[in-house]
């Protein structure tokens, strides 16, 4: 109890008490000292004790004061000194200058007192400082959870700081156990480690710095960092081993947290890199899961992508592979766990829960996931939901706000990547469609057999397909554009072209379908049919022209027209001929009847002429009918001179009348020809009458020479006249249908073309040789008929 | 037969042709009946006995071929077709239907008479044979 009272903690209360006591003591002294002197008959000299007491009262007082100061603090000491002085000094001063030694003694005493007090104060201060320093150290140790120890080797004494006792839970008062008995404080592994280190320190003086697992007295296991340092004397012998033990559990946890965050950041960086280059969504999510599971930062990760056909899943576990695989199968099959359903709810984007217990109710992974932090997020971008990502944290590490933000960001990045992949696919599809469309276009327009050409409002060609270039005989678009119109069109076509252009410019109507004739680069003339219409090309109004080559068609048409005309004419002629037949029959018949009667000579001769001419008319009509007849008739081996002679006979009368003489020169040994008599008659008839006409027109008479001879497998008949001859221009068109030099109405112009047809059909040739002023010779050549051929046929 | 002359029916839509043939054949000793159309020819055939028909192929409405077809259903008398110059196909057709001969316009009188005579002679021979059969 006394000790308690004396302890520094009760100072102020103490001080007050002491001060009171001091005052009291001082009064006692003062009064005692002088009271004694007031005692009558007391002589200070007589009592040795009293003398001693009186002489030494100052000393005693001094001693008390000093003792007080030392023991009870400077302030108290000073107070005492002041009180003593206050009580003693005035008396001494009053005695001054009588009692000088007394005064000096008092002053000396005062001086010593104050010096003493000052010294005591110093010590007090030092003690206080030390105490404060100690307190600071203790605080520092407490706050940093560190404690230091010292093992004095010679004495075997171990000192543990307060801080150390806080770390390991050892009682503050109890002395620390010796080192050998410390095994219970450590896990077996750690004890082993520590033992080794300490042993080493003892033998080599080497310091150690270890992380060991310490078990506190209350059973809690903490991570500590223990350091030991040896003090060795000059001889190398260890004096002591000292060191510190620090509870690093918290910092260890913080360290892990930081490492975890660093890992997460690295993972996210990897994923971000992946996102920029991975084009396949399935690979993307697989890689993401792999990255996330790396470095053991997370326990489970899974990503589900919704697909129209089969869901895509990826995922894994760092601690529960099998259960995770089963879980992924469930996801793929469309059986979704509670956590997923919840996160898909509209308005929600993610779930982040510590120890989510109920959330995993009913799930395959319930046991595994319930004990960890759960993070589930929609993979969504601008309203489109791609899937869900699920992350389960590592046991012991919880998702703090920062990590949750990171995970959200991650989910966002993955969604963005999925969006990009989707857009890329769309772009590809569009690109493909565009390419197909372009190919369609190319096939339908570019490759079209019709010539297609687009012109702008100024008439410039903006596009021309292959067919068009080919029609025009150009090898490139540039050639087409660089050749002026007047060099492409035939002269007539060019005139028409200009007319069309002018009409269009004036806004007049121009037919949208018309024909043109062009001269190709190779000189050939082609006829093209053009169809023109408005078109929107490259966004503006332009003109499309379709071209079809109708050259053959046109020729065919012309031929058909000719054919047609011929047929019509044939039919006409046929009709006419038949019409003529009856009147002719009448004329011939009645004139015959008349001739049967008795007539005067003059009448008879005239009538005869009538009859003859009627008969001749009939012969001509017969000729016409032959011409009109379409079917090829039978050929027979005949002598070519027979039809010739028939014709000459027919023409004899006319020739007489017109002063046309005929001389013939027929080879007596002429081969036969395979021919149709009447057709040959037609041919010869035509040529002969033409010759007669030419000669009589020129000079009212004529000389006809006809020869027939064989030549190299052919039989050649030549009919020459002494008419004016045929001009070179006419020579070219001699055998063309409807070509005639006669006046209108005087000849059909069909004669020679028919002859050519007949001769060609007989396998022969017909041609004319002529010089202006020297007449004309028409030659007909027919293949000779070989009797042996007949034999061949039969055989 | 009329007055011992063979009766010849000439069928033609042209008046002058009818007149000419009538003249020529009358001079040659035949009794002549004319018809201007196929229809009229059939009527005439129904009205009186005719020994030979001379018929133009080309006629309006009922042409020679058609008339011949109808005629042949009832009569087996000789028919000579008269054709224009180019009627080869029609001639074959007529002959196959039952015409006995043909002659072309314009014709030679001699030729015509000769052909008619030849046809009638044949008929006479057949009839005579028939009559003698009946008599006996």
| Strand pairing report for A221-232 and A208-215 | antiparallel
What is the reported pLDDT for A715? 94
Give mean pLDDT, residues A125-134.
89
Per-residue confidence band for B7, with pLDDT thresholds at 50, 70 and 90: very high
What is the reported pLDDT for A259? 83
Environment class of residue B126 by beta-carbon count within 10 Å: exposed (0-12), middle (13-18) or buried (19+)? exposed
Backbone phi, then psi, for A298, in 5-degree steps? -130, 155
- Outline where A389-464 has alpha helix (H): 401-441
Q: How far apart are CA A130 and CA A126, in angstroms?
A: 6
Least confident window among A225-234, A363-372, A521-530, B4-13: A363-372
Judged by DSSP in three states, A273 sits in helix
Chain A interface includes B24 (CB < 8 A): yes
Residue A314 Rama label (left phi>0; alpha psi -120 to 50; beta)? beta
Distances from the Cα of A545 to the Cα of A131, A509, A512, A516, B56, angstroms: 113, 16, 9, 12, 61
> By 3-state DSSP, what share of chain B in percent is helix, strand and coil, each rounded to 5?
50, 20, 30
Distances from the Cα of A52 to the Cα of A38, A41, A49, A55, A67, angstroms: 17, 18, 5, 5, 20
Choose from B20, B24, B36, B90 for mutation: most chain A CBs within 10 A.
B20
Q: How far apart are CA A778 and CA A691, in angstroms?
A: 9
What is the reported pLDDT for B78? 92
Q: In B, which residues are within 8 Å of A618 by CB distance?
A: 85, 106
Q: For residue range A387-410, what is the model confidence (pLDDT) as tens digits?
A: 888 888 776 666 778 888 888 888
Q: For residue range A632-646, what is the model confidence (pLDDT) as tens digits?
A: 567 777 889 888 988
Environment class of residue B3 by beta-carbon count within 10 Å: exposed (0-12), middle (13-18) or buried (19+)? exposed
Q: For residue range A81-90, what is the model confidence (pLDDT) as tens digits?
A: 777 677 666 6
Chain B residues 69-128 with CB within 8 Å of chain A = 84-86, 105-107, 109
Give mean pLDDT, residues A670-681.
85
Q: For residue range A425-482, what is the model confidence (pLDDT) as tens digits?
A: 899 999 999 999 888 887 888 888 899 999 988 888 989 998 999 899 898 889 888 8
CA angle A334, A335, A336 (to 5 degrees): 100
Q: In A, which residues are within 8 Å of B14 by CB distance?
A: 582, 586
**Residue of chain B whose Cα is closest to the Cα of A578:** B84
Question: The tokens of A155 are what?
Answer: 């004495």
Backbone phi, then psi, for B3, in 5-degree steps? 55, 35
Question: The tokens of B114 are what?
Answer: 């000769």
Q: Above pLDDT 90, what percent of chain A?
A: 17
Q: Which span out of A14-28, A256-270, A293-307, B16-30 was modeled with the highest average pLDDT? A: B16-30
Per-residue confidence band for B128, with pLDDT thresholds at 50, 70 and 90: confident
CA angle B38, B44, B46 (to 5 degrees): 110
Give mean pLDDT, residues A556-579.
73
Give mean pLDDT, residues A538-553.
87
Distances from the Cα of A536 to the Cα of A183, A481, A541, A544, angstroms: 97, 21, 5, 9
**pLDDT surpassing 60 at residue A505:** yes
Q: Name which residue leads in pLDDT, B123 or A533.
A: A533
**pLDDT surpassing 90 at residue A781:** yes
Question: The tokens of A296 are what?
Answer: 């053991």
Interface of A with B (CB under 8 A): 574, 577-578, 581-586, 588-590, 592-593, 596, 614-615, 618, 621-622, 625, 628-629
Question: The tokens of A633 are what?
Answer: 């008739």
What is the reported pLDDT for A769? 93
**pLDDT surpassing 90 at residue B39:** yes
Per-residue confidence band for A93, with pLDDT thresholds at 50, 70 and 90: low
Q: Let me know: does A778 contact A756? Beta carbons within 8 Å.
A: no
Q: Let me know: does B135 contact A611? Beta carbons within 8 Å.
A: no
Instruction: Chain A: give the shortest CA distance to residue B120, in Å.
Output: 23
Environment class of residue A180 by beta-carbon count within 10 Å: exposed (0-12), middle (13-18) or buried (19+)? exposed
Which residue is listed with tokens 């015959």?
Answer: A592
Instruction: Chain A: give the shortest CA distance to residue B16, in Å.
Output: 6
Give mean pLDDT, residues A735-762.
76
Backbone phi, then psi, for B84, in 5-degree steps? -75, -175
Q: How far apart are CA A215 and CA A165, in angstroms?
A: 12
What is the reported pLDDT for B72? 92
**Residue of chain A whose Cα is closest to the Cα of B56:** A582
**pLDDT surpassing 90 at residue A653:** no
What is the reported pLDDT for A181? 84
Chain length of chain B: 136
Instruction: Report the helix count and the strand count for chain A, using DSSP H and E.
Output: 24, 22
**Residue of chain B whose Cα is closest to the Cα of A592:** B109
**pLDDT surpassing 80 at residue B87:** no
Q: Above pLDDT 90, what percent of chain B?
A: 46
Q: For residue range B100-116, what is the model confidence (pLDDT) as tens digits?
A: 888 888 888 888 898 89
* Residues 6+ positions from A589 with CB-CB distance below 8 Å: B17, B20, B21, B24, B106, B107, B109
Backbone phi, then psi, for A330, in 5-degree steps? -60, -45
Question: The tokens of A588 are what?
Answer: 């011939």
**pLDDT surpassing 60 at residue A745:** no
Backbone phi, then psi, for A318, in 5-degree steps? -90, -10
Closest CA to B44 of B66, B74, B20, B84: B74
Environment class of residue B101 by beta-carbon count within 10 Å: exposed (0-12), middle (13-18) or buried (19+)? middle
Select the residue of B20, B58, B106 nearest A618 (Cβ to Cβ): B106
Q: For residue range A138-148, what is the model confidence (pLDDT) as tens digits?
A: 898 888 889 99
Cα A411 to its chain centre, rounded Å, is 22
Per-residue confidence band for A718, with pLDDT thresholds at 50, 70 and 90: very high
Mean pLDDT for all residues in chain B: 86
Mean pLDDT for all residues in chain A: 82
Chain length of chain A: 795
Select the residue of B20, B27, B85 nearest A581 (Cβ to Cβ): B85
Q: In A, which residues are within 8 Å of B105 by CB distance?
A: 581-582, 584-585
Per-residue confidence band for B1, with pLDDT thresholds at 50, 70 and 90: low
Which residue is listed with tokens 């993610």?
Answer: A350
Q: For residue range A373-390, what is the model confidence (pLDDT) as tens digits?
A: 888 888 888 888 888 888
Select the residue of B24, B58, B84 nearest A589 (Cβ to Cβ): B24
Least confident window among A39-48, A49-58, A720-729, A777-786: A39-48
A586–B17 CB contact, under 8 Å: yes
Which residue is listed with tokens 């006692």?
Answer: A28
**pLDDT surpassing 90 at residue A530:** yes
Q: In A, which residues are within 8 Å of B27 by CB distance?
A: 593, 596
Distances from the Cα of A366 to the Cα of A307, A311, A338, A395, angstroms: 26, 22, 10, 15
Q: In B, which residues are within 8 Å of A622 by CB distance?
A: 85
What is the reported pLDDT for A119? 81
Instruction: Chain A: give the shortest CA distance to residue B128, in Å.
Output: 34
Environment class of residue A2 by beta-carbon count within 10 Å: exposed (0-12), middle (13-18) or buried (19+)? exposed
Q: For residue range A574-588, what is the model confidence (pLDDT) as tens digits?
A: 778 778 888 999 999
Q: For residue range A103-112, what is the model confidence (pLDDT) as tens digits?
A: 676 677 777 7
What is the reported pLDDT for A795? 43
Instruction: Chain B: give the shortest CA distance to residue A547, in Å.
Output: 48
What is the reported pLDDT for A716? 95
Quickly list DSSP for A67-126. HHHHHH-HHHHHHHHHHHHHHHHHHHHHHTTTTHHHHHHHHHHHHHHHHHHHHHHHHHHH
CA-based max dimension of chain A:
247
Instruction: Chain A: give the shortest CA distance to residue B125, in Å.
Output: 31
User: How many CB atoms lie under 10 A from the CB of residue B4?
Assistant: 7
**Residue of chain B whose Cα is closest to the Cα of A590:** B20
Environment class of residue A765 by beta-carbon count within 10 Å: exposed (0-12), middle (13-18) or buried (19+)? middle
Backbone phi, then psi, for A389, in 5-degree steps? -115, 135
Instruction: Tally A–B CB contacts below 8 A.
Output: 56
**pLDDT surpassing 60 at residue A45:** no
User: How many CB atoms lie under 10 A from the CB of residue A69?
Assistant: 26
Give mean pLDDT, residues A160-181.
86
**Residue of chain A whose Cα is closest to the Cα of B26:** A593
Sheet with strand A221-232: strands edge to edge:
A157-160, A146-152, A238-247, A221-232, A208-215
Per-residue confidence band for B38, with pLDDT thresholds at 50, 70 and 90: very high
**pLDDT surpassing 50 at residue A361:** yes
Distances from the Cα of A198 to the Cα of A240, A243, A248, angstroms: 12, 11, 20
**pLDDT surpassing 50 at residue A78:** yes
B105–A585 CB contact, under 8 Å: yes
Chain B residues 27-46 with CB within 8 Å of chain A = 27
What is the reported pLDDT for A442? 78
Per-residue confidence band for A684, with pLDDT thresholds at 50, 70 and 90: very high
**Residue of chain A whose Cα is closest to the Cα of B82:** A582
What is the reported pLDDT for A793? 46
Q: How far apart are CA B69 and CA A166, in angstroms?
A: 149
């Amino acid at each position: 109890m006394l000790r308690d009272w004396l302890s520094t903690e009760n100072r102020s209360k103490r001080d007050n008490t002491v001060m009171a006591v001091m005052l009291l003591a001082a009064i006692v002294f003062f009064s005692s000292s002088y009271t004694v002197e007031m005692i009558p008959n007391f002589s200070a000299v007589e009592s040795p004790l009293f003398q001693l007491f009186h002489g030494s009262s100052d000393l005693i007082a001094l001693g008390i004061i000093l003792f007080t100061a030392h023991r009870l603090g400077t302030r108290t000491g000073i107070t005492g000194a002041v009180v003593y002085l206050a009580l003693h000094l005035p008396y001494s001063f009053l005695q001054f200058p009588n009692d000088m030694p007394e005064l000096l003694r008092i002053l000396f005493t005062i001086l010593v007192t104050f010096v003493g007090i000052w010294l005591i104060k110093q010590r007090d201060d030092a003690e206080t400082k030390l105490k404060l320093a100690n307190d600071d150290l203790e605080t520092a140790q407490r706050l940093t959870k560190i404690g230091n120890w010292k093992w004095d080797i010679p004495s075997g004494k171990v000192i543990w700081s307060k801080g150390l006792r806080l770390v390991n839970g050892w009682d503050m008062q109890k002395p620390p156990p010796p080192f050998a008995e410390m095994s219970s404080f450590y896990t077996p592994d750690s004890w082993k480690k520590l033992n080794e280190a300490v042993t080493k320190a003892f033998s080599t003086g080497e310091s150690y710095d270890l992380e060991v697992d310490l078990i506190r007295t209350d059973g809690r296991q903490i991570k500590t960092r223990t350091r030991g340092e040896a003090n060795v004397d000059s001889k190398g012998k260890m004096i002591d081993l000292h060191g510190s033990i620090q509870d690093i559990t918290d910092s260890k946890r913080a360290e892990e947290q930081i490492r975890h965050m660093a890992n997460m950041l690295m993972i996210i960086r990897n994923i971000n890199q992946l996102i920029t280059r991975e084009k396949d969504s399935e690979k993307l999510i697989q890689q993401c899961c792999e990255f996330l599971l790396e470095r053991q930062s997370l326990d489970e990760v899974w990503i589900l992508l919704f697909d129209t056909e089969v869901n895509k899943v990826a995922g894994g576990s760092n601690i529960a592979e099998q259960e995770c695989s089963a879980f992924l199968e469930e996801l793929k099959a469309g059986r979704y766990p509670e956590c997923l359903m919840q996160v898909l709810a509209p308005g929600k984007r993610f779930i982040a829960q510590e120890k989510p217990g109920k959330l995993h109710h009913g799930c395959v992974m319930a046991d595994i996931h319930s004990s960890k932090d759960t993070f589930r997020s929609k993979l969504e971008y601008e309203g489109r939901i791609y899937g869900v990502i699920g992350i389960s944290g590592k046991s012991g590490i919880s998702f703090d706000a920062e990590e949750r933000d990171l995970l959200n960001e991650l989910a966002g990045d993955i969604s963005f990547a999925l969006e990009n992949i989707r857009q890329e696919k769309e772009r590809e599809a569009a690109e493909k469609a565009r390419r197909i469309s372009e190919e369609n276009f190319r096939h339908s327009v570019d490759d079209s057999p019709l010539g297609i050409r687009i012109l702008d409002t100024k008439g410039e060609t903006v596009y021309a397909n292959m067919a068009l270039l080919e029609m025009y005989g150009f090898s490139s678009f540039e050639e087409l554009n660089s050749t002026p119109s007047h060099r492409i069109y035939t002269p007539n076509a060019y005139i028409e072209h200009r007319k069309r252009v002018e009409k269009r410019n004036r806004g007049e109507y121009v037919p949208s379908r018309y024909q043109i004739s062009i001269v190709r680069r190779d000189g050939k003339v082609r006829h093209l049919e053009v169809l023109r219409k408005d078109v929107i090309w490259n966004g503006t109004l332009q003109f499309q022209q379709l071209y079809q080559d109708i050259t053959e068609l046109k020729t065919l048409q012309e031929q058909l027209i000719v054919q047609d005309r011929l047929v019509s004419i044939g039919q006409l002629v046929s009709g006419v001929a038949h019409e003529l037949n009856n009147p002719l029959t009448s004329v011939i018949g009645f004139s015959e009847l008349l001739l049967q009667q008795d007539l005067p000579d003059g009448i008879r001769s005239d009538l005869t002429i009538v009859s003859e001419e009627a008969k001749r008319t009939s012969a001509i009509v017969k000729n016409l009918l032959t011409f009109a007849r379409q079917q090829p008739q039978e050929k027979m081996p005949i002598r070519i001179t027979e039809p010739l002679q028939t014709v000459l006979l027919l023409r004899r009368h006319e020739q007489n009348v017109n002063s046309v003489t005929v001389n013939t020169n027929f080879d007596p040994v002429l081969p036969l020809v395979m021919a149709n008599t009447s057709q040959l008659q037609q041919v010869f008839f035509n040529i002969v009458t033409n010759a007669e006409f030419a000669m009589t027109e020129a000079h009212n008479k004529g000389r006809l020479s006809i020869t027939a001879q064989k030549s190299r497998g052919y039989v050649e008949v030549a009919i020459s006249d002494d008419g004016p001859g045929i001009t070179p221009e006419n020579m070219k068109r001699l055998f063309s249908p409807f070509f005639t030099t006669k006046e209108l109405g005087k000849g059909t112009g069909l004669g020679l073309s028919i002859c050519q047809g007949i001769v060609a059909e007989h396998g022969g040739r017909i041609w004319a040789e002529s010089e202006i002023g020297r007449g004309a010779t028409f030659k007909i050549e027919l293949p000779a008929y070989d009797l042996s051929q007949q034999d061949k046929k039969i055989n | 037969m009329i007055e011992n002359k063979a009766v010849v029916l000439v069928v033609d839509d042209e008046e002058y042709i009818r007149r000419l043939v009538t003249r020529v054949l009358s001079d040659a000793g035949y009794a002549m009946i004319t018809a201007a159309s196929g229809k009229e020819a059939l009527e005439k055939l129904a009205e009186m006995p005719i020994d030979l028909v001379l018929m133009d192929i080309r006629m309006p409405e009922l042409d020679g071929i058609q008339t011949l077809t109808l005629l042949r259903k009832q009569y087996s008398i000789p028919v000579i077709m008269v054709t224009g110059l180019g009627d080869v196909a029609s001639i074959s057709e007529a002959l196959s239907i039952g015409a006995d001969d043909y002659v072309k316009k314009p014709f030679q009188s001699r030729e015509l008479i000769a052909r008619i005579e030849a046809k009638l002679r044949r008929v006479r021979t057949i009839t005579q044979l028939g009559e003698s059969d009946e008599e006996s």
